[in-house]
């Protein structure tokens, strides 16, 4: 942070001195001209002296402009790098509902497109806008000293230029904000299309997907055209006004030279100052769209940074995960429509607990509450007789591992993927976990073994192989509770049988919760929880539930 402040201070001071060096050159140049074409005497020595000062001033301006550009670029990149880090830390502290409620493309855009726009905006602000302000101020000072009447001609045009630019920029700001929103939406839709391309093909959904993409793309195109059109109006408009001002100055100055109220040298200096005075305004209008876009992007990032952190208890507790109790638990995502209602459970140590029911019954939601991804609306969840609200989330999650329906692997080695979240694990522990998961033989059959690289999307592996590696990851942590959220629903029957054999061994030494779609996989469970519309409608062993001929019996028979 201190380095950034020093860079910013250097940029500001260098920009000020550079601007002063630039603006003082017309003064020396005018003096040199008067020395060579004076009314009475020609003073060549004086003219050469003034030209030397002009050259020195230009050299100082060049050196400091180069340094300002270099340091401004470094500051902008560092500032946004810190901003990205804060954003990543912030998102890690936000509730999972934030991720659920925002398109992933929008979140990705914050780190990429929005960040790049902020870098460009900051750079332009420090190198062109800031320097331009000082050029305007110093040029105005010298113009007034030379000729007040001619200065008024220039100054009259400034408010017109300013208010015209402001009116156009205000209009374009809304378009640029909408453009960024649509860009995020388009990025998310493109990501969905690519990630689920096989599903798109098998569902013959190409035309509809293209139509949805085109609808967003067309709107983005229209908004982009309007944004660029509005911002492009500013530059020609201000140039026209400045050129009219230049014509008036020429006429006024010519009369002054003829009447001997101003010298040719001072007239030349004044015309240079008038151009210096108007040029920054032209540059402001040319870069205003980029600064506005950067401002809109910064506001998008700041909006996330202003989100409230997830409230968490700071009390750390070493939980053994022996017992799990749901006591009259109620929960809804939106505060209105209950997903879980009056749920009561008492799970004993080393139990195999299956959770079944139709889609939307609340099966995965129950596990989300157990992991404290969400907090209950009322009631309580107890682990080892401790209310989970009274201990930190990290304490709870240190007692559990989860295997999801869609296995997730990142780019890196197989070893790194197994050790994810447990980087201090030894080679022996990693191999033991892989053997327990039943993927050790597959891994050592690869040319590089545990050092084999997983590609982007892990497309060099089958779904079953990926799932076994994620199971090894879950086992490496060595926790008392394992959660399996439809972990075999996406694999073939042979792979499912193999994974089920692995699970059978795991369940002997862990309390296990598993959501199942195929009821053939739950028949040997110690307890089956039957969910329907957020309610626990039945519970018991497979044999007990079949004999009752209730909702479970209906579900079971529908699969045979």
In Å, the largest CA–CA distance within the chain is 123
Closest residue by Cα to residue 370 from 351, 356, 389: 389
Query: Taking 80 as the threshold, does the pLDDT of residue 116 lie above it?
Result: yes
Closest residue by Cα to residue 17 from 68, 52, 53, 55: 68
- Nearest 10 degrees: CA dihedral of 103, 107, 108, 109? 100
Scanning the structure block, which residue is given the tokens 């195999």? 352
- The residue-averaged pLDDT of 42-59 equals 86
* Highest averaged pLDDT of the listed ranges 235-244, 329-338, 438-447: 438-447
Handedness of CA 316, 322, 324, 325 (dihedral sign): negative
Report pLDDT for 509: 83
pLDDT in tens, 545-554: 999 999 999 9
Query: Taking 70 as the threshold, does the pLDDT of residue 38 lie above it?
Result: no
Query: Taking 60 as the threshold, does the pLDDT of residue 261 lie above it?
Result: yes
d(CA 77, CA 82): 9
DSSP class of residue 46 equals: H
d(CA 349, CA 325): 11
Report pLDDT for 40: 56
**Cα-only R_g, the chain:** 35
Q: List, in order, residues 6 or more apart from 156 with CB less than 8 Å away.
A: none
Closest residue by Cα to residue 54 from 14, 26, 15, 20: 26
d(CA 73, CA 126): 9
Report pLDDT for 428: 92
Q: What's the mean pLDDT when you consider all of the chain?
A: 83
- The residue-averaged pLDDT of 328-340 equals 83
- Number of C-beta neighbours around residue 201 at 10 A: 11
pLDDT in tens, 141-161: 988 988 888 888 888 877 777
Report pLDDT for 202: 63
Cα 27 versus chain centre, distance: 49
Report pLDDT for 1: 59
Query: Taking 60 as the threshold, does the pLDDT of residue 337 lie above it?
Result: yes
DSSP class of residue 454 equals: E
d(CA 402, CA 119): 39
Report pLDDT for 458: 63
Report pLDDT for 5: 80
- The residue-averaged pLDDT of 289-303 equals 87
- The residue-averaged pLDDT of 123-128 equals 86
- The residue-averaged pLDDT of 471-490 equals 81
Report pLDDT for 444: 92
The proportion of the chain whose per-residue pLDDT surpasses 90, expressed as a percent, equals 8
d(CA 498, CA 479): 22
pLDDT in tens, 91-102: 888 888 888 787
Report pLDDT for 55: 92
Q: Which domains does the chain have, with CATH numbers?
A: 2-305 (1.20.1560.10), 324-558 (3.40.50.300)
| Cβ pair 105, 191 in contact under 8 A | yes
Report pLDDT for 288: 75
Report pLDDT for 415: 92
Reported as a pLDDT band with limits 50, 70 and 90, residue 127 is: confident
Reported as a pLDDT band with limits 50, 70 and 90, residue 430 is: very high
Q: List, in order, residues 6 or more apart from 538 with CB less than 8 Å away.
A: 528, 529, 530, 545, 548, 550, 551, 552
Tokens of 204: 């013959």
The two beta strands, 324-332 and 453-454, are unpaired
DSSP class of residue 451 equals: G
Run of H or E including 130: helix 130-146
d(CA 437, CA 465): 10
Report pLDDT for 491: 65
d(CA 29, CA 276): 14
Report pLDDT for 450: 92
- The residue-averaged pLDDT of 394-415 equals 84
Closest residue by Cα to residue 294 from 174, 116, 175: 116
């Amino acid at each position: 942070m201190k380095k950034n402040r020093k860079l910013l201070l250097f940029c500001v001071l260098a920009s000020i001195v550079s601007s002063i060096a630039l603006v003082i050159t017309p003064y020396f140049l005018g003096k040199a001209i008067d020395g060579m074409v004076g009314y009475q005497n020609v003073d060549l020595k004086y003219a050469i002296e003034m030209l030397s000062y002009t050259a020195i001033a230009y050299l100082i301006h060049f050196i400091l402009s180069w340094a300002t550009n270099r340091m401004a670029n470094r500051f902008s990149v560092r500032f946004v790098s810190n901003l990205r880090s804060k954003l990543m830390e912030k998102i890690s502290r936000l509730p999972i509902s934030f991720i659920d409620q925002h398109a992933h493309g929008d979140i990705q855009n914050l780190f990429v497109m929005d960040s790049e726009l902020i870098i460009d905006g900051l750079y332009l602000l420090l190198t062109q806008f800031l320097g331009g302000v000082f050029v305007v101020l110093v040029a105005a000072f010298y113009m007034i000293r030379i000729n007040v009447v001619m200065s008024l001609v220039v100054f009259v045009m400034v408010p017109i230029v300013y208010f015209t630019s402001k009116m156009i920029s205000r209009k374009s700001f809304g378009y640029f904000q909408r453009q960024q929103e649509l860009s995020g939406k388009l990025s998310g839709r493109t990501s969905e299309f690519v990630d689920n391309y096989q599903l798109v093909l098998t569902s013959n959904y190409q035309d509809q997907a293209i139509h949805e993409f085109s609808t967003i793309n067309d709107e983005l195109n229209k908004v982009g055209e309007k944004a660029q059109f509005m911002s492009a109006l500013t530059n020609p408009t201000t140039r026209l006004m400045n050129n009219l001002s230049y014509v008036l100055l020429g006429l006024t100055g010519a009369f002054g030279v003829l009447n001997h109220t101003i010298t040719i040298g001072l007239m030349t200096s004044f015309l240079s100052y008038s151009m210096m005075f108007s040029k920054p305004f032209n540059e402001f209008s040319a870069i205003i769209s980029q600064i506005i876009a950067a401002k809109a992007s910064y506001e998008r990032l700041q909006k996330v940074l202003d989100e409230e952190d997830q409230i968490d208890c700071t009390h750390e507790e070493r939980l053994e995960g022996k017992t799990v109790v749901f006591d009259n638990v109620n929960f809804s995502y939106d505060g209105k429509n209950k997903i879980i209602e009056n749920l009561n459970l008492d799970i004993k140590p080393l139990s195999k607990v299956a959770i079944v029911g139709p889609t939307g019954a609340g099966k995965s939601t129950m596990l989300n509450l157990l992991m404290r991804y969400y907090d209950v609306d009322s009631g309580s969840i107890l682990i080892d007789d401790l209310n989970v609200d009274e201990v930190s989330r990290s304490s709870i999650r240190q007692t559990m591992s989860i295997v999801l329906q869609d296995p997730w692997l990142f780019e890196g080695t197989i070893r790194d993927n197994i050790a994810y979240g447990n980087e201090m694990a030894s080679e022996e522990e990693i191999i033991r976990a892989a053997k327990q998961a039943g993927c050790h033989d597959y891994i050592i059959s690869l040319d590089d073994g545990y050092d084999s690289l997983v590609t982007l999307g892990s497309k060099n592996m089958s779904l079953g192989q990926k799932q076994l590696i994620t199971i090894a990851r879950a086992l490496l942590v060595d926790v008392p509770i394992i959660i399996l959220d439809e972990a075999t629903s996406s694999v073939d029957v042979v792979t499912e049988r193999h994974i089920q054999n692995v699970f059978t061994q795991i369940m002997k030494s862990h309390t296990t919760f598993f959501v199942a779609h195929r009821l053939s996989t739950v028949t040997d469970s110690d307890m089956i929880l039957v969910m329907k519309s957020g309610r626990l409608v039945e519970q018991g062993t497979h044999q007990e539930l079949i004999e009752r001929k209730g909702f479970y019996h209906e579900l079971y028979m529908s699969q045979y």
